[in-house]
Amino acid sequence: MRNIKLTISYHGKYFSGWQTQNSGVITIQEEIEKALSKLLNENIKIIGSGRTDAGVHAIAQIANFKTNNKQIPLTAFTCGLNKLLIKGIAVLKAEDIDIDFNSRKSAKKKTYIYQIYNDRIISPLDEDFYYLFKYNLDIKKMKDASKYFLGEHDFASFAAAKNSTNTTIRTIYDIKWKTENKKIFFEITGSGFLMKMVRNIIGTLIEIGNNKKNVDSIISILKSKNRNFAGATAPAKGLYLKEVFYA
């Protein structure tokens, strides 16, 4: 038995999220499983490091699967597999990994990026990858407010309404900002993220940058544990899973 670790990149526009669904929609997990099953002539199920929502992109999503095929070379899980995959997904790397490795349970932290284009008009070359926000943003206020997320907090106010996890407590280790003309890049690293948590954080920070909320309102929003107090959910197309970290 082999355990194979895959590093995967995908364009979220083409898919209804990562997780296989029963509604006939196209998902990343299902497409990779179909391609692997054909390649290996086995019924393959993969485990992802986490579920990304419909429209969310991945620079380096991690998944693993087990196979009885000990002969097939690793290049078959990159070059060969990519020939079978549909548009919008690419397997960047394949590795033999310890049999006990589980891409979800073994993950220690993750980094997400959110991209905002702050102008009235956006190039069609960028529109799939940025949230176009047409009104003025005070970036300094957004940076100052984001510091309140650092550390361990209950993020119930920033979770999707249908969140089903056992706990809404998460730890944020680092937050970075970068601007290039009209482009704003927000990077956040944490122990894990609730459904739509990063998009809800961004939506709230945008309201602060647009002077609809105060910088220190993050404190009361966190304490409230009430989703209604946070900002609107930012669009999925600005969000990327950048990296998953393991021990």
Q: Which residues are known to be catalytic?
A: 53
49 DSSP 8-state letter: S
The rounded distance, in Å, linking the Cα atoms of 110 and 62 is 11
The SS3 assignment for 199 reads helix
CB 95 within 8 A of CB 86: no
The rounded distance, in Å, linking the Cα atoms of 7 and 49 is 10
Q: What are phi and psi of 241, to 5 degrees?
A: -80, 110
SS (H, E, C) 97-163: ECCCCCCCCCEEEEEEEEEEEECCCCCCCCCCCCEEECCCCCHHHHHHHHHHHCEEEECHHHCCCCC
Structure tokens at 2: 């082999």
Closest CA to 62 of 75, 74, 50: 50
Residue recorded with tokens 């497409």:
31
The rounded distance, in Å, linking the Cα atoms of 29 and 43 is 13
β partners of residue 240: 57, 113
